[in-house]
Amino acid sequence: MMTALTAPSRLVHAFVPRKRRGAELFLLVLALAIGVGAYALVGLGRDSTIPTDILEYGGGLVVLAVVCHVVVRIVAPYADPVILPAVVALNGLGLAMIRRLDLASNTSFARQQLVWGALSIAVFVATLLVVRDHRRLQAYTYTMGFVGVVLLMLPLVPGLGVNINGARIWIRLGGLSFQPGEVAKLCLAIFFAGYLVLKRDALALAGRRFLGIDLPRGRDLGPILAMWLVSLGVLVFQRDLGSSLLFFGLFVVLLYVATERPSWLVVGGALFAGGAYLGYLAFSHVQTRVDGWLHPFDNVDSYGQIIQGQYSLAFGGILGRGLGEGNPYLTPFAYSDFIGTSLGEELGLTGLMAIVVVYGIIVERGLRTALVCRDAFGKLLAVGLSVAFALQVFVVLGGVTKLIPLTGLTTPFLSYGGSSLIANWIMVALLLRVSDHARRPPPDLTPTAADDETAVVKMR
């Protein structure tokens, strides 16, 4: 306590690097128990028997988790021990719920999702193996920016992009649908981090002071305005409110972190509010979303999904109906967009709150990684990934629970969908990579005796 008071800066140095892989393994066992247990409960709840394929399914899940753990142990030994188990628990719960909905409506999404999960983990491993040092990514700053923008625009290419449920955010290649925006999110996070590391000093220059806040210089507003226009473009051409908010929010937050100037939040917030209001005035699909948020019960035909989501949550109540014992399948897209309310119905307020807290833990572990990270790029990258993740969770769960207008984003790790799963596992790989670097013991910089003997110039 005394040391903390006298020398607060010592706190950071007092951080003792520990690998904590054993803790990760223990948490992984808990996470697997949740995932496999949920799968067994689905069978018990619906048919009063444990599903016959529990061994194959559970075995598959265990193998995937063990692969992740072993790879992390080898190539990122100092990585954060909480993130991976949290993600595995969410993924397992999502699979169990998708399986439960499959049984109700004779679909086979869970099988596909398991394949996507295996693929995602392969990509996760590949990312950890290829990106041995996250600072290498800084060299690809503009490449990533370019790739991100191209990916964002892919769905607008005629013949490639397809309109699904009113939003043009999908591409279809040889029978496979993919949401390139999910990967674009990662590319843009890398791009923003790299770009802002370079420009932070220029952007941090204060302009005029107005109402107690330092407003930036006019010419420094360029990048934020450009990003604002890109976000509006996403909103206008792809009709995707959620991604629009996500990209813009990500950029503004990183700008704030890089420059340490809260004024960017004010400017960004004002631009967002203005853009959202203009969008509301100009586009009927935005009005529909807002109307469905404020008065869903006035138009049962149009807003049936939101209404069903609300019924679903209410039906779940505090303790939930139990896995396999509710009617989540009455909600359209209960396995993807509305998996949040499906879980709320069967696991209740208790279960859904636990899930939200697990998301919160992932975000706060990511931000903690940013705090202890020693290089600016790593800090910005970890903040970007964590905040984008937090925004996405907030926008989609807030949307399905009628806290904010509903937008079409996927629920990370829970909802059905390959592109989202792959992108989010890459995100986890990058976070683990940054955290491995951040939590590693600092390199020993004391010169060795051997240097003294071969030194050309005598230093001491």
Pull the structure tokens for residue 363: 């975000």
300 near other proteins, judged by CB under 8 A: yes
DSSP for 89-120, written as a single string: HHHHHHHHHHHHHHHHHT--HHHHHHHHHHHH
Q: Cα 35 from chain centroid?
A: 20
Interface of this chain with other proteins, residues 356 to 375, rule: CB under 8 A: 356-357, 359-360, 363-364, 367-368, 370-371
Query: In the chain, what is the straight-line distance between the N-terminal and C-terminal CA atoms, in Å?
Result: 38
Query: Which helix or strand (DSSP H or E) is residue 176 part of?
Result: strand 176-178
Helix or strand run (H / E) with residue 247: helix 241-259
Report in angstroms how near the CB of residue 141 gets to other proteins at its nearest: 18
For Cα atoms 63, 358, 431, give the angle at the middle one, nearest 5 degrees. 70
Q: Could you say whether residue 312 binds other proteins (CB under 8 A)?
A: yes
Cα three-residue angle 395-397-400, rounded to 5 degrees: 100
Measured in whole angstroms, the distance separating CA 231 from the mean position of its chain's CA atoms is: 18
Which residues are CB-neighbours of 435 under 8 A, at least 6 positions away?
Answer: 76, 78, 79, 80, 83, 365, 369, 373, 382
Cα 152 to Cα 234: distance, rounded to the nearest angstrom: 8
HSE (side-chain half, CA atoms, 13 Å) at 407: 24
Q: 51, 81, 161, 348: which one contacts other proteins (CB under 8 A)? A: 348
> Which one of 25-33, 75-83, 397-405, 436-444 is the stretch in contact with other proteins (CB under 8 A)?
397-405
Q: Of 28 and 387, which CB lies nearer to other proteins in the complex structure?
A: 387
With CB under 8 A as the contact rule, the residue among 84, 271, 397, 427 that binds other proteins is: 397
Q: Is 401 in the site for other proteins (CB under 8 A)?
A: yes
138 touching other proteins, by CB under 8 A: no
Residue type, 418: G
Q: What's the closest the beta carbon of residue 391 comes to other proteins, in angstroms?
A: 8
Per CB under 8 A, the list member of 160, 225, 229, 403 interacting with other proteins is 403
Which of 95, 188, 235, 387 lies at the binding interface for other proteins (CB under 8 A)?
387
How far is the C-alpha of 194 from the C-alpha of 15, rounded, in Å? 27
Q: Does 45 bind other proteins (CB under 8 A)?
A: no
- Number of neighbours of residue 202 by Cβ within 10 angstroms: 12
Q: Is 260 in the site for other proteins (CB under 8 A)?
A: yes
Using rule CB under 8 A, residue 376 touches other proteins: yes
# binding residues, other proteins (CB under 8 A): 52
317 forms part of the interface with other proteins (CB under 8 A)? yes
Q: How far is the CB of 109 from other proteins (least distance, A)?
A: 21
What's the sign of the alpha-carbon dihedral 290, 296, 302, 305?
positive
* Least spacing, CB of residue 18 vs other proteins, in Å: 21
Which residues, at least 6 apart from 215, have a Cβ–Cβ distance to it below 8 Å?
Answer: 206, 207, 208, 209, 263, 267
Is 314 one of the binding residues for other proteins (CB under 8 A)?
Answer: yes
266 binds other proteins (CB under 8 A): no
The verdict on 390 binding other proteins (CB under 8 A) reads yes
Helix (H, G, I), strand (E, B) or coil at 14: coil
SS3 for 326? Answer: coil
256 binds other proteins, rule: CB under 8 A: yes
- Which of 37/304 has CB closer to other proteins? 304
- Both tokens of 160, joined, read 């490639």
Binding mask 319-338 for other proteins (x = CB under 8 A): -------xx--x--------
Applying CB under 8 A, does 383 fall inside the site for other proteins?
yes
Whole-number minimum distance, CB 137 to other proteins, in Å?
A: 18
Nearest distance in Å: CB 7, other proteins: 16
Judged by CB under 8 A, the chain residues 205 through 234 that form the site for other proteins are none
Closest CB to other proteins among residues 76, 253: 253
Applying CB under 8 A, the residues found at the interface with other proteins are 253, 256-258, 260, 262, 297, 300, 307, 310-318, 326-327, 330, 344-345, 348-349, 352-353, 356-357, 359-360, 363-364, 367-368, 370-371, 376, 379-380, 383, 386-387, 390-391, 393-394, 397-398, 401-403
